A and B are shown apart, each in its own frame.
Chain A
Amino acid sequence: MQDHSHENNIDKFPVAMAYVPWQRFDNMYDDLEKAYCTGTIFPELNKPFTGRRCV
């Protein structure tokens, strides 16, 4: 079994609560047509569905 008890930054947060990391925005897509078709202007939020593992 993997040991999950090692100290990460997020592990310093109070327990029994959910945390989503803050997004820090530097750049949006230059190609706005592409951003539109993707569904976001933020490259870091582009998480498409592949429907297959190991892609």
Chain B
Amino acid sequence: MGNQEQLFRDIGIVDFVLTDLTLYLDTHPMDRNAMEYFNHYNRIKHQMEKEFSMKYFPLNTSLAESSKEWRWGMAPLPWEGECG
């Protein structure tokens, strides 16, 4: 796996951890242990997304600031897959 694929995969993993923790915290809003996990992985996710967007392509429009060409429009679409 290349650097781009690895970082993309890691973002998927960390964001999935946040998705699962979010639903847990929705029904367990006083669980401080889960909140600490959430805060930790949320910081990591933001760092990784920023790094990925600078090096490769923006994953969302808040990371899509562009000068020469509209980077958001050039980004690959998720349903294309690697085998496209």
Contact between A and B in the complex (any CB pair below 8 Å): yes
Number of A-B contacts (CB under 8 A): 28
Question: What is the CA–CA distance of A23 and B20 in the complex, to the nearest angstrom?
Answer: 13
Write out, one digit per residue, whether chain B residues 1-34 have a CB within 8 A of any chain A CB (1) or not (0). Answer: 0000000000011101100110010001001011
Residues of A with Cβ closer than 8 Å to B?
A: 23, 25-26, 28, 32-33, 35-36, 40-42
Q: Can you list 28 pairs linking A and B with CB atoms under 8 Å apart? A: A23-B24, A23-B28, A25-B24, A25-B28, A25-B31, A25-B33, A25-B34, A26-B33, A28-B17, A28-B37, A32-B13, A32-B14, A32-B17, A33-B13, A35-B13, A35-B16, A35-B17, A35-B20, A36-B12, A36-B13, A36-B16, A40-B20, A41-B16, A41-B17, A41-B20, A41-B21, A42-B20, A42-B24
